[in-house]
Amino acid sequence: MIVAFNTELFIQLLVNGITLGSLYALIALGYSLVYGILKLLNFAHGDVYMIGAFAGYAVLSLLGGPLSPNVALAPLIVLMFLGAMIASGLLGVVIERFAYRPLRDAPRIAPLISALGVSFFLQNSALLLFGAQFRSYDSFVLGSKNPEFFEPGPLTDPLFVVKNVNIQLIQVIVLSTTVGLMVALTLLVAKTAIGKAMRATSYDREAAAMMGIDTDRVIASTFFIGSLLAGAAGVMFGLLFSQVFHFMGFLAGLKGFTAAVVGGIGSIPGAMLGGLLVGLAEAFAAGYLGGRWADLTVFGILIVVLLVRPSGLLGTPAIKKV
């Protein structure tokens, strides 16, 4: 069976993949930062992302709801991002303080189980607080002149068209915000004092502490930054797919983790690359193989990468000192 190559479908999937990939890359960065510094898999990270999405929804509701917002579209979106990022960041710090810090020197299995407990706790707390129904950002009508008649707003308007494929404003916003956050993060890690302290702590925590670095504070700020990025990703998900629910963090967390591992866990450019690859793989699998194989494809990629090159594409193989 020969199928004619469909350029439109291909470009559409490419665009979807890149948008989805930026989301996963942001989540992956949180995993990578924390793993780099504590060698801890933060299973609760996906749920921090979920809480970020709900925080964005809360800001939207406080400002009048999607149908009749009190402020203009641009400040509204900026406020949603800010609210979600701050809420998630603080949540990350609280989780670190209460669930991981007491286990800093425990056997490695203990913080993992604790993380599993936190993840489950957050998921079900969200279920208790927000209920099982989907909450909608209604990004379709957001900023529209006649939302009650479901007139599409500017977010989903085609900004420009490539080969009959509409590129929406929201996709451009997502991509540019992601790029902006990543540049900011790279600068932070490379140029600032706290970035330097983070690098030192991830290289050798004990030695860093002996050099007068307050490692507890460095670790807390790492959690803050990683969770902040997850919160931004949560709002992006809400804007892109318009619905948030209590269980959304689980799969997104797994995929973000896959992205981090594919790129090389602990490496910041690796997380970005990995996110993009996973997003593209998922979009193309969904487009060409069917939606039910999308998740299994991502899991398959993870298993293959782990078996063939556990250190990931851009990671350095761990040298074990005895």
Partner 1 sequence: MGSGGDIPEIPARPDERERPRVGVDEWVANVEDRREERAGIAGLAGRIDDLVPPWARLAAFGLVAASLPLWMERGDLFAYGIFTLIYVLLGLGLNVVVGYAGLLDLGYVAFFGFGAYFYALLSSEQYGIHWPSAVSFPVVVVSTALLGLVLGIPSRRLLGDYLAIVTLFFGQAFVVFVNAANPTVRGKGLTGGPNGIADIDPNDLFGYELTTRRQQYWFILGAVLLVLIGLHFLSESRTGRAWRALREDPLAAEAMSIPVNRLKLMAFAFGAAIAGLTGCMFAAVLTAVTSGNFALPILITIYAAVILGGIGSLTGVVIGAIVINVSFQFLAPENPQDNARILFYAVIVLLLLLGIRPLWRLAAVLGGTIAFGLMAHAIAEAISPSWTAGAVVEGGRFGDVVADWVIIPADNERFANAAYIALVVAILALTKIHGWWRTGLLVPTVYLATIVWETSFVAQPAVARWILFGALLVFLMTKRPQGLLGTPRVEIV
Contacts of 199 (CB under 8 A, 6+ apart): 189
**Stretch in the footprint of partner 1 (CB under 8 A) among 59-67, 70-78, 162-170, 303-311:** 303-311
CB of 299 to partner 1, least distance (A): 5
What would the DSSP string read from start to end of 227-250?
A: HHHHHHHHHHHHHHH-EE-TTHHH
3-state secondary structure 191-224: HCHHHHHHHHHHHCHHHHHHCCCCHHHHHHHHHH
- Helix 45-62 to helix 109-130 angle (10° resolution) is 30
Using rule CB under 8 A, residue 259 touches partner 1? no
Closer by beta carbon to partner 1, 119 or else 171: 119
Closer by beta carbon to partner 1, 175 or else 313: 313
- Helix 169-191 to helix 193-203 angle (10° resolution) is 80
Please tell me the number of Cα atoms within 13 Å of 209 on its side-chain side.
7
Closer by beta carbon to partner 1, 94 or else 175: 94
What would the DSSP string read from start to end of 69-90?
A: -SS-HHHHHHHHHHHHHHHHHH
Amino acid in position 39? K
Using rule CB under 8 A, residue 108 touches partner 1? yes
List 52, 56, 69, 111, residue binding partner 1 (CB under 8 A): 111
Closer by beta carbon to partner 1, 35 or else 81: 35
Residue ranges in the chain assigned as alpha helix (H): 7-38, 45-62, 73-95, 109-130, 169-191, 193-203, 205-210, 215-241, 248-263, 268-288, 294-308
Closer by beta carbon to partner 1, 153 or else 312: 312
Using rule CB under 8 A, residue 129 touches partner 1? yes
Query: Tokens standing for 206?
Result: 């004990």
CB of 122 to partner 1, least distance (A): 8
CA distance 177 to 168: 14
CB of 313 to partner 1, least distance (A): 16
CA distance 24 to 268: 13
Using rule CB under 8 A, residue 2 touches partner 1? no
**Stretch in the footprint of partner 1 (CB under 8 A) among 7-15, 194-202, 219-227, 300-308:** 300-308
Using rule CB under 8 A, residue 302 touches partner 1? yes
**Stretch in the footprint of partner 1 (CB under 8 A) among 34-42, 65-73, 76-84, 233-241:** 34-42
**Stretch in the footprint of partner 1 (CB under 8 A) among 12-20, 37-45, 74-82, 214-222:** 37-45
**Stretch in the footprint of partner 1 (CB under 8 A) among 179-187, 188-196, 233-241, 289-297:** 289-297
- Beta 165-168 vs 158-162: how paired, if at all? antiparallel
Using rule CB under 8 A, residue 116 touches partner 1? yes
CA distance 244 to 158: 24
List 65, 75, 102, 317, residue binding partner 1 (CB under 8 A): 102
Using rule CB under 8 A, residue 321 touches partner 1? no
Q: Binding mask 77-96 vs partner 1 (x if CB under 8 A, - otherwise)? A: -----------------x--
Using rule CB under 8 A, residue 9 touches partner 1? no
The residue ranges that bind partner 1 (CB under 8 A) are 39-41, 43, 94, 98-99, 102-103, 105-114, 116-125, 127-129, 250-251, 254, 257-258, 261, 292-293, 295-296, 299, 302-303, 306-307, 310, 318, 322
